[in-house]
Amino acid sequence: MQLTLKVWRQDNPNDAGRFETYQATDLKDEMSFLEMLDAVNENLIEDGREPIVFDSDCREGICGTCGLMINGQAHGPQKGTTTCQLHMRKFRDGETVTIEPWRAAAFPVIKDLMVDRSAFDAIVQSGGFITADTGSARDANEILVPKPAADASMDAAGCIGCGACVAACPNGAGQLFTSAKLAHLNLLPQGQAERYKRTEDMVETMELFFGSCTNYGECQEACPKEIPIDFIAMMNRDFLKSKLSNRKLSGQKR
């Protein structure tokens, strides 16, 4: 199999950037998309040209490091699949494939296809945790977690923080990521004490970096872990509850 690649090259964050065209030859169905790029890079190096910079690490679809816009789709054409788990059998011989970095105001390009996603860490840092200093825990089975709650929490916790949701969103919104972390923690009994403070802190931090959600739903389509937008509804409900009543009733002040 052979492909024509149009790849975004950008030397540094301030460079205007441009598309460059490469031929990828001798491809096999069993190759992953990133192995295809590895091969292109080895050829570039042999030709004395700088290889294409892209992020990847585990190549098992779990670390969230990789992520490319492939023909305008975040992580490419296969549903529920990260870029590293996408294989060449999903492409046709002779096809032209356009490869870009995540495009979002909150994710500035560092070089070529690599972007800065530290805004996600800032959201988690603002409240995406349950305070439980080491050593303070009671016996694990003293906390009963109904199976449905544990399962729903786990569905949300499966987020890998890759940023596809933001890249796919016309608004560059970070709602799916933020709501997944909130749902993971807010659905569990252990997460109740900080539930409303957590929700306000994370939503407000999110708004410093990301656009607003207008319910396009592109995020859940792009999500390689198929996290549903139901969690955004839950986040909005918790945020409203928090602002309207809960904190005042409990006598808390900011």
How far apart are alpha carbons 160 and 206 in whole angstroms?
A: 17
Does position 89 interact with other proteins (CB under 8 A)? The reply is yes
A 10 A CB-CB count for 133 gives 6
Question: Site residues for other proteins, window 187-246 (CB under 8 A)?
Answer: 188, 190-191
Nearest-approach distance from CB 240 to other proteins, in angstroms: 23
Does position 153 interact with other proteins (CB under 8 A)? The reply is yes
Question: Site residues for other proteins, window 116-145 (CB under 8 A)?
Answer: 116-118, 120-121, 124-126, 128-141, 143-145
How far apart are alpha carbons 114 and 34 in whole angstroms?
A: 13
- H/E element, 35: helix 33-46
Does position 77 interact with other proteins (CB under 8 A)? The reply is no
Q: CB neighbours of 117 closer than 8 A, spacing ≥ 6? A: 102, 107, 161, 163
3-state secondary structure of 219: helix
Among the listed residues 2, 18, 92, 146, the single contact to other proteins using CB under 8 A: 146
Question: Site residues for other proteins, window 3-42 (CB under 8 A)?
Answer: 11-12, 28-32, 34-35, 38-39, 41-42
Does position 1 interact with other proteins (CB under 8 A)? The reply is no
Nearest-approach distance from CB 7 to other proteins, in angstroms: 15
3-state secondary structure of 9: strand
